[in-house]
Every structure is written in structure tokens, then in C-alpha cells.
């Protein structure tokens, strides 16, 4: 029997075998902890994080609102860096709740994926 974390890691590797970020279309990776949510836009060919945003300092609002703010923030930062299209990496998490909020807010902010 696998634990929840082992299951997520197996799903993560399965997804990561299919997608990777390029300089033209970097990978937008989401990490969700119990308290925070972090998003990075990564160029996998050079191994560099191009843009990052997190919910640190937003503890006063509900978690779904934090996720939406982080999505808007990452979209704004990415466009300032000249990034318009990304590949979405849900990092083994279900596309639901806070992960979906980040994706929807980033789309509304102007990112295409």
C-alpha cells in the first residue's frame, strides 16, 4: 500500500516524463503545502527559474483567494519577463481547488496554456 505522498510522486514523475519547459514555452510548476502555495516558471533546458511567486505574507485571506492572487501575480511577472505561453505542471496534485484557482487566475492574467 502506498502512502498519499508516494502516490503523488509517482503521478508527478508520470506527468514530468511527458512535459518539459523550453525557453519559448517554459513550464509553470505549482507546489502546494498545507499553508502556502508556490508557483515557478522554469526553463528546463537551462535549469533556471525565470519567474516565481508565492503566497507568503498573505495569511490574512482564505487559501483559495491566496491561490488566485498568486496566479494573477505570476501572470503579471511572466508578462513583464516577456513570457506569454507556458506548459502547466500540476506537480502530481489533482486539478482542483487551489491548483485550479492558480491556473484560472493565470489564464485571466493573460498567460496561455
Give the model's confidence band at 76: pLDDT under 50 very low, under 70 low, under 90 confident, else very high: very high
3-class SS of residue 99: helix
105, pLDDT greater than 80: yes
For the residues 57-79, what does the mean pLDDT come to? Answer: 95
1, pLDDT greater than 90: no
The model's pLDDT over 7-66, given as tens digits with 9 standing for 90+, comes to: 999 999 999 999 999 899 999 999 999 999 999 999 999 999 999 999 999 989 999 999
**Residues in CB range of 77: below 8 A, 6 or more apart:** 51, 52, 53
2, pLDDT greater than 90: no
Burial of 94 (0-12, 13-18, 19+ CB in 10 A): exposed
The three cell numbers locating residue 85: 505561453
For the chain, the first-to-last Cα distance in angstroms comes to: 35
Domain boundaries, the chain: 4-108
CATH class of this structure's domain 4-108: alpha beta
pTM score of the predicted model? 0.91
- Supply φ then ψ for residue 87, to 5 degrees: -105, 125
Q: Are 26 and 49 in contact (CB under 8 A)?
A: no
3, pLDDT greater than 80: yes
**Residues in CB range of 42: below 8 A, 6 or more apart:** 21, 26, 27, 28, 29, 48, 49, 50
Amino acid at each position: 500500500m502506498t502512502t498519499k505522498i508516494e502516490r503523488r510522486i509517482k503521478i508527478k514523475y508520470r506527468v514530468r516524463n511527458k512535459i518539459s519547459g523550453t525557453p519559448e514555452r517554459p513550464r509553470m510548476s505549482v507546489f502546494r503545502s498545507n499553508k502556502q502555495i508556490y508557483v515557478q516558471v522554469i526553463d528546463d533546458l537551462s535549469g533556471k527559474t525565470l519567474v516565481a511567486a508565492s503566497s507568503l505574507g498573505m495569511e490574512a485571506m482564505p487559501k483559495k483567494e491566496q491561490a488566485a492572487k498568486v496566479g494573477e501575480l505570476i501572470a503579471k511577472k511572466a508578462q513583464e519577463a516577456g513570457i506569454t505561453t507556458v506548459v502547466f505542471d500540476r506537480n502530481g496534485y489533482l486539478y482542483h481547488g487551489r491548483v485550479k484557482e492558480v491556473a484560472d487566475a493565470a489564464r485571466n492574467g493573460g498567460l496561455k496554456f
